[in-house]
Chains A and B, each alone.
Chain A
Amino acid sequence: MLAKRIIPCLDVAHRRVVKGRHFRDLVDQGDPAELAEAYASAGADELVFLDIDATVEGRATLIDLVTQVARRVFIPLTVGGGIRTTDDMRELLRAGADKVSIQTAAVAHPELVKAAAARFGSQCVVVAIDAQRCGPGWVVLTHGARQGTGLDAIAWAGELCRLGAGELLVTSIDADGTKSGYDLALTEAIAARVGIPVIASGGAGGPQDIVAVLTEGRADAALAASIFHSGKWTVDTLKAELQAAGVAVRI
């Protein structure tokens, strides 16, 4: 049986892992390659690197970082942040990324998802959705959650699936940074709509939140950042808790 995946997320700016993706004040969390190696040896199932800089200079740094990490870490690596074209993706995949994550560009040019799936295969194409509660549902935000789109998040998830996305990385902007639990209704609604894996993000404070999103929230994987960066939980201690709660994880 497929195990539920635990995915530490490393937000990278200026060659460092930082905290505060949707906030202005960035706090240094450490060296990306060192953290990646530590998480992998503690049993992380995958790693996600998000370039929150997403400048031209940042891109060169990111490629350099992916190259380094891919030589030392032998679990799947997903890289995102500022990707606009299939050539951008090719560069990151050549550097050693296994998957690329796109978000703002997918909203601006949905055909990019289709082109990426055709060129590299759906298994390479993760599309991120930043969703915010709005009335009875959720709307999609872009540009680091600073800009609204008016798109309904659940309908958008269905459209991405149709375009050939391989996985959806769903972040609740309401829950992100709160450490008070994932938006279970959001991931549940998206998982019910699409037939592709859903990675839940935003709001992890402890094992009980992760158990909830992987069961009630129907997510296939849980992404978390600060609970690992802070040293509060390591991937292996977290997985032991999940296993005790009856969640299938790779130990």
Chain B
Amino acid sequence: MIGVIDYGTGNLASVTNALDYLEAPWRLARSSSELLASDTLVFPGVGAAGPAMARLRATGLDQGLHEFLRSGRPYLGICLGMQLLFQSSAEDDSSCLSYFPGQVGRMATSEKLPHVGWNTIDVSRSSSLLEPWNGKYFYFTHSYVVQPAEPEVICAVTDHGGAFVSAVAQEPIFGVQFHPERSGRDGLQLLARFCRLAEEKVRTLAG
């Protein structure tokens, strides 16, 4: 069962609608115990880092997340759900989950911010999740970007007046800056592929 993290401020309908459309079973994870009872997690973060981390701490979800991320189970972080995996964010000057070394900073670009709209991803290293979508368009809406301290976690980059990191992975932990749940057919197919990869991983862990 996929747990969809609900920390009370994000808009979950887009992701849960997409999972329903794909007929992938899910339930909300509102507490640490619900989160740890899930065999796969999707974290559709929307909004600002500060309030999100404050809510995660207030609900104890942060502790559950620390444990889950080290358990070898699959995780997909979308937008803020990827950014919070890093050590700290310049947005609201917040400390985050510190799963990946590195920071989140405001995008350095001569172009407009927020970066809103459809942009292509350049899959920069072999990734079981992203490979089929090299050069394809996905929907982005953000002003902050991850700056991994370890370049080997970078899976894809995107150009917006300079390259920024648009996907990271240390399988089975995946993070994408774009919104697959709002990226039309390609986005739905990417989510379906994540669900399949997650199922295989969970079977291996159980076996």
Contact = CB atoms under 8 A, between A and B. Distances in A.
Interface residues of B, number: 34
A116 B46 CA distance: 14
Contacts of A70: 13-14, 17
A45 B184 CA distance: 9
Nearest to B120: A1
Contacts of B173: none
Q: Is the interface of A mostly helix, strand, loop or mixed?
A: loop
Contact of A45 (B17, B113, B114, B117): B117
B70 to A, nearest CB: 29
B99 interface: no
B26 interface: no
B142 A74 contact: no
Interface string B11-22: 101100110110
B67 interface: no
B183 A197 contact: no
A75 B138 CA distance: 10
A71 B21 contact: yes
A93 B47 CA distance: 12
Interface string A88-127: 0000011110100000000000000000000011111000
A15 interface: no
B23 interface: no
Given A70-B14, A94-B11, A96-B17, 14 more contacts: A1-B119, A2-B115, A2-B119, A5-B117, A45-B117, A74-B17, A74-B183, A74-B184, A75-B139, A94-B13, A96-B13, A123-B114, A167-B116, A221-B117
The 5 closest A-B pairs by CB, nearest first: A96-B13, A250-B137, A123-B141, A121-B47, A250-B118
